[in-house]
Structure 1
Amino acid sequence: MAAAAGCGDPPKGRRSPDKTIFETGNPVQEIWAIRLVLTKSGVKRVRIEAGHGSEYKTADGVEHLLDSGIKATFFDGNGTLTTTVTAAKAKVHENHDIEIVGNVTLVSRGNTVMRTDYARWTAKDSMIRSGSPVSISRPGEIIRGRGFETDQALTRYRIFQGSGEAVINK
């Protein structure tokens, strides 16, 4: 029986042991049928469900890229449901900000419906913002524009470059 062993410099072109494979942009982990719950001081703020998710390391920490049927449910400071969001994809940042992309539909408890291609919820102030075209429907009115900001309950919103139509009942 024969055995051989040796030491030396690693061959050129090979990854040195002090570098990790995560530097190449590969996901740290992948998850199917994912459910994330974001809390603030122990109170549920957002529940996100997706068919698939990937976790990546970034310079700022960790971010989650979600796809395959995004559903995000937002809650107020008391834990009461305020708004439900559906979209094609989402990105959850380390600071809990959420970017939502592709056929984004936001529906409030009060039946306000907003449609856009992109929106971002900021955890710090619980506001939803976008620079994309938006359509807002409420009973008796439709407002369109480019760009908006709203509270997460969709009760107070501001439209940039707006236009609209309303039905006036006499």
Structure 2
Amino acid sequence: MLRLLSFVLLSMLAFLALSACSSKTMPARQSLLIINQDFPVQETWEARVIFTDSGKIKATIYAPHVAQYARGGNTTEKHLDGAIEVHFYNSKGEHSSRLNARRGIIYPNNDIEVFDRVVMVSDDCTTVRTEYAKWTSKDQKIRSDKFVTIRRPTETLSGYGFESDQHFKNYRIFKATAVMKVRQAHEE
């Protein structure tokens, strides 16, 4: 019995030794690094992003979470989620308006799209509500092709399609559906 066990053990060792000396080459190892458009290459929490032009602050974004995605070459998109807030500044660097939304995307050209419960408020109390808006950094305008409501102290406008400067001083609705004037109560 001991001889049989010794023979089996020696046979197994010989088989292992001979198979280890095979001349077959091992296939090249695959990289464990996966860079895919569906996975972020970088994440940041409690982020603040500042946009400047010629040394002057144009906008500041605050976001609870930012995920950066590779989009081919050296380009990336920053996806913002949580209660994001954007502050806009005039040419003198003074605060002029703010924008709140649930999520957004910053593109490589610094354009920003925001989605879900978008509320924009100027320092003169003009309020714009919509579900989608896009700020283009080149002309610093905000646009939406969705339903919007604009409230000012003296009127409320609503309709589809919207364009404005980032300070909400000069705006227009493309397909107005309602205009309501608000009468001020006169004090006696």
TM-score interval w.r.t. the shorter chain? 0.7 to 0.9
Partner of 1:44 in structure 2?
57
Partner of 2:107 in structure 1?
93
In the TM superposition, 1:5-20 aligns within 5 A as 8-10=26-28, 16-17=30-31
Q: Secondary structure at the match of 2:93?
A: coil
The alignment's C-alpha RMSD in Å is: 2.2
In 2, Cα distance between equivalents of 1:73 and 1:40: 15
Q: Which entry has the higher C-alpha Rg, 1 or 2?
A: 2
| TM-score, normalising length: structure 2 | 0.79
| Greater fraction helix | 2
In the alignment, structure 1 residue 112 sits paired with structure 2 residue 126: yes
In 2, Cα distance between equivalents of 1:100 and 1:24: 20
In 2, Cα distance between equivalents of 1:7 and 1:62: 39
Contact map agreement 2:37 2:70 (CA 8 A) in 1:
no
Q: Percent identity?
A: 35
Return 56-65 or 151-160, whichever deviates more: 56-65
In 1, Cα distance between equivalents of 2:108 and 2:99: 20
The letter for the 2-side match of 1:157 is Y
Partner of 1:78 in structure 2?
92
Structure 2 gaps, min length 5: 1-19
Q: How many residues align?
A: 162
Structure 1 gaps, min length 5: none
Q: Note the alpha carbon deviations across 1:114-160, whole angstroms, 9 max, x for none.
A: 00000000000000000000000001210000010000000101101
Partner of 1:123 in structure 2?
137
In 1, Cα distance between equivalents of 2:95 and 2:104: 20
In 1, Cα distance between equivalents of 2:65 and 2:116: 16
* Stretches of 4+ aligned residues off by more than 6 angstroms: none
The letter for the 1-side match of 2:86 is A
| TM-score, normalising length: structure 1 | 0.87
Partner of 1:164 in structure 2?
179
Q: Note the alpha carbon deviations across 1:42-91, whole angstroms, 9 max, x for none.
A: 11111100111101111371111011110000112221111100110011
Instruction: Give the drift of 1:168.
Output: 4.6
In 2, Cα distance between equivalents of 1:49 and 1:26: 22
Instruction: Give the drift of 1:7.
Output: 5.2
In the TM superposition, 1:31-70 aligns within 5 A as 31-59=44-72, 61-70=75-84
Contact map agreement 2:157 2:179 (CA 8 A) in 1:
yes
